[in-house]
Amino acid sequence: SASLKEALEGKFYIGTALNQFQISGRDTASLAVVKKHFNAIVAENCMKSRIIQPREGEFNFLPADRFVAWGEEHGMFINGHTLIWHSQAPNWFFTDRSGNPVSAEVLIRRMKNHIFSVVGRYKGRVHSWDVVNEAILDDGSYRKNKFYEIIGEEYIALAFEFARQADPEAELYYNDYSMANPAKRAAVAALVTKLQRRGIKIDGIGMQGHVGLKYPSLDEFEKSIIAFAELGVKVMITELDITVLPQPRGTGGADISSNFKYRQELDPYAAGLPDSIARASTERYLSFFNLFLKHQDKISRVTLWGVNDGYSWRNNWPVRGRTDYPLLFDRNNRPKAAVDSLIA
C-alpha cells in the first residue's frame, strides 16, 4: 500500500486535526496529504464554544460548515470537537450581564442551547462528538471548572443527555489527556461506569495522546486501553503527537522569545533536528502504533493532532515560540521515516 489509510485499512481509522488554514482550503499542500493518508478528521479549533458561539445566540458556523462539507466531499469520518470544555469557552457562558456567575438553571439552559444548536446543525453529518473534554484531573478528582462549580458533577451527564437528544445517531465520547495515569484511568472508568448504570449513552473514550519521547510508559498506556475497552465502549487515540522538546514544569505559557539563553535550553532544535532525536521519534511512533495494532480490536480510531510539524500547537505549548517536531509529516509535508515504516 502507498498510504497510511490503506496500510491501516480494516484496523482503525487514521485521522488528523484540521486547522483554520486547511479549513479555508488555501493550504492545498497539506490538504493533499490529508486526502492521501487519512480517512478521519476533527477540527482543531473551529467547533470550540468560544469560536462557534462567541456571543450568546450568535453563531460563527462558517468554518465548521466548510470543515464538515470538506469531510463529506472526501469521505472522511468526521468527529466534532468539543461541546463542553472549560478552555476556549466564552465568558458569557458563565456570567450574567453584570458579570456575576449565573445560576445552575441558567447554565444548564445555555449548555442545552449550545449543544442543540451545534449538534443539531450537523445532525446526521458529523459522525461523533467529544461531548465532554478534560473533566477529570490527574489525581482523579473532578476539575473544578465553572460547569462543576455552578452545576456540580451532574453537568457531565446532562451534556451527554443533550447531545443524545440533539442527534440520537451520533457517537458520543468522553475525551481527556494523561489517560495513562493510573489515578486518572480509574476515575474516568468510574465516571463512565456511573453514566452507563444510569442508562446514559456513551459510545467511546478518547485518549488524547499528547505524549513525549519517554513519558508516559507504554505499559501504563496499554493498561488504560484495556481498562477502557472492558467498559464496553470504543477506545480512541484522539490527539496524538510526540513532542521531542523538554517539558519544563511550571513554565506553562511562558514566553521565552526575549531571553536567549533560556531559549537555547528550552528550544534546543531551532536550527534543526539531530538524527539521534529523529530516530528516537520514529522508534517512539512505531512502539505506539505497534501497541495500537496489538489492540486493534479495541481501538476504533487513531487521530494525529495536526498534519505537519510547522503548524503543530506543540511549538507553542507549554512554552511559546519553540521548534518542535511532533507529527508524522515535516514542515514541507514530507512523510517522515515512521510513515514509511508503518506503510511497509
Q: Which residues bind ligand XIL (CB under 6 A)?
A: 44-45, 133, 208, 239, 313
The minimum distance between CB 208 and ligand XIL, in angstroms, equals: 6
Cell 488555501 found at: 26
Q: State CA 25 to chain mean position distance.
A: 21
Least distance from C-beta 87 to ligand XIL, angstroms?
A: 7
Q: Is 220 one of the catalytic residues?
A: no
Output the CA torsion sign for 151, 155, 157, 160.
positive
Structure-block grid coordinates of residue 202: 456513551
Distance of closest approach, residue 45 Cβ to ligand XIL, in angstroms: 5
Of the listed 44, 161, 171, 239, which one is catalytic? 239
C-beta of 61 vs 313, nearer to ligand XIL: 313
Smallest distance from the beta carbon of 48 to ligand XIL, in angstroms?
7
Amino acid symbol at 324: D
Output the nine-digit C-alpha cell for 82.
468539543
Helix (H, G, I), strand (E, B) or coil at 88: coil
Residue number, 130 or 282, with CB nearest to ligand XIL: 130
Taking the CA atoms of residue 290, residue 173, residue 103 and residue 91 in that order, the dihedral angle to the nearest 10 degrees is: 60
Q: Kindly state the cell numbers that stand for 39.
A: 480517512
- Nearer Cβ to ligand XIL (44/267): 44
User: Which residues, listed in sequence order, are joined to residue 18 by a DSSP beta bridge?
Assistant: 43
Identity of the residue, 133 or 282, whose beta carbon is nearer to ligand XIL in the bound complex: 133
Query: Which H, E and C letters describe 106-134, residue by residue?
Result: HHHHHHHHHHHHHHHHCCCCCCEEEEEEC
| CA dist., res. 8 & res. 126, Å (int) | 22
| CB-based closest residue to ligand XIL | 313
Alpha-carbon Rg for the chain, nearest whole angstrom, is 20
Nearest approach, Cβ of residue 253 and ligand XIL (Å) = 11
C-beta of 44 vs 324, nearer to ligand XIL: 44
Give the nearest distance from C-beta 269 to ligand XIL in angstroms.
Answer: 20
- Give 234 or 314: the residue with its C-beta nearer to ligand XIL: 314
Nearest in space to 40 (alpha carbons), one of 156, 159, 171, 212: 171
User: Three cell numbers at 117?
Assistant: 444548536
Active-site residue list:
239
